[in-house]
Structure 1
Amino acid sequence: MSGLESLYQQLILDHSKQRHGEGDLPDADASHHELNPTCGDEVTLAVRLDGSHEHVDAIAWHGDGCSISMASTSVLVDLVTGLEVDDALARAEEFRAMMRSKGVGEPDEDLLGDAVAFQGVSKYVMRVKCAMLPWVALEASVRKALTAE
C-alpha cells in the first residue's frame, strides 16, 4: 500500500469514528432517508438552506453502517456546508463520477477535497453504494427543499 493510500485509509477511519454533522437539525428544510438493502447501511440526511435558498446553510444526519458509508457522510458535511446549492450538487455529481471510475483517472481534488480518499473504494463494486449513500440523500434533500419554496 502506498503512503497516499494509507493516508486515505486513515482519513476514512478517522471520519467513521469522529462523525462530523451527526445529530439533529430541528429547523431543516428537508430530509431524505437512504438504505442500502445489500448490506443494511442507512443514512437520514437533513439540510437547511439559507433564506434565499441559494446556499447550503447546515447539514445533519443520523446513520448506521460500515466505516465507508459513515465516513462518506462525515466528509460530505465538511465539503458542502456553506456552498451554493449548485456547487453542492456539482460536487455530488463529481463524487458519483469518481465512484463510477473503478479507480481509473484522477479525480478533481480542488472540487472533492478529502472526498478523493474514496477513489480506492470505486474499485469495489459492492462498496460503491456504501460511499454513495449520503450523496444520494443530499441530492434528494436539496431537491425537496427547493421544491418546498
Structure 2
Amino acid sequence: MSGLESLYQQIILDHSKQRTGEGLLEPSHAAAENHQYNPTCGDEINLRVELNEEKSAIEHVSWEGDGCSISMAAASVLSDMAPGMSLTEFQELVDKFREMLRSRGQIEPDEEYFGDAAAFAGVSKFVARVKCAMLSWVAAEEAAKEATQH
C-alpha cells in the first residue's frame, strides 16, 4: 500500500470515529431532511441541510445514521465541507465526488479541491462500496433541493 493510500485510509478511520455533524440540529432557517438506505449492506442515514436566510448557501449539515466506517466517514467529511458553500458550489462538489467515485480509480482527485473527500478515491475501485460513500451525499443533495422550496 502506498503512503497516499495509507493516509487516505487513516482519514476515513478518523472521520468514522470522530464524526462531524452527527446528531440532528433543530433548524432556525429553511431546512429539509432526507433519508437514504442502502439495502445491500444496511447503511442508513437521516440527514438535514439548513440553508442561510437567503436560501443561497448551506449553513449546517447534521445527521444521524448507522453503517460502515465508509458511510459514516463520508457523512462526517460532507458535514465538514458543505457549510458556507453556495448551493451551486455544493452541487458541483457533489457532481465531482460522484464522478470520482464512479471512475473505478481512473480519476486522481485534486486534494486541494476535495480536501478530506479525496480520501474516498480508493473506494471507487470497489464498486460495492461506492453506494456507502455516496449515501450521505445523495441525502444532502436531495435535502438541499427540497430546502430551497420551503
Q: Structure 2 length as normaliser, TM-score?
A: 0.96
Shift of 1:130: 0.1
Rounded Cα–Cα distance in structure 1 between residues aligned with 2:139 and 2:133: 11
Q: Residue in 2 aligned with 1:91?
A: 93
Q: Distance in 1 between matches of 2:121 and 2:56?
A: 29
Aligned residues: 148
CA distance in 2, matches of 1:113, 1:103: 17
Following superposition, the deviation at residue 24 of structure 1 comes to 1.8
The residue number in structure 2 matching 1:80 is 82
1:58 aligns with 2:60: yes
The correspondence of residues 7-18 of structure 1 with structure 2, limited to 5 A, is 7-18=7-18
Unpaired runs of 5+ in structure 2? none
Offset, 1:38: 0.4
Preserved contact between residue 24 and residue 47 of structure 2 (Cα < 8 Å): no
Amino acid at match of 1:54: S
Give the aligned residue type for 1:124.
Answer: F
- For structure 1, the 5+ residue unaligned runs are none
Selected match of 1:130 from 124, 129, 132: 132
Identical aligned pairs, as a percentage? Answer: 55
Which range is displaced more, 109-118 or 130-139? 109-118
Q: Indicate the RMSD between aligned Cα atoms, in angstroms.
A: 0.9
Shift of 1:21: 0.4
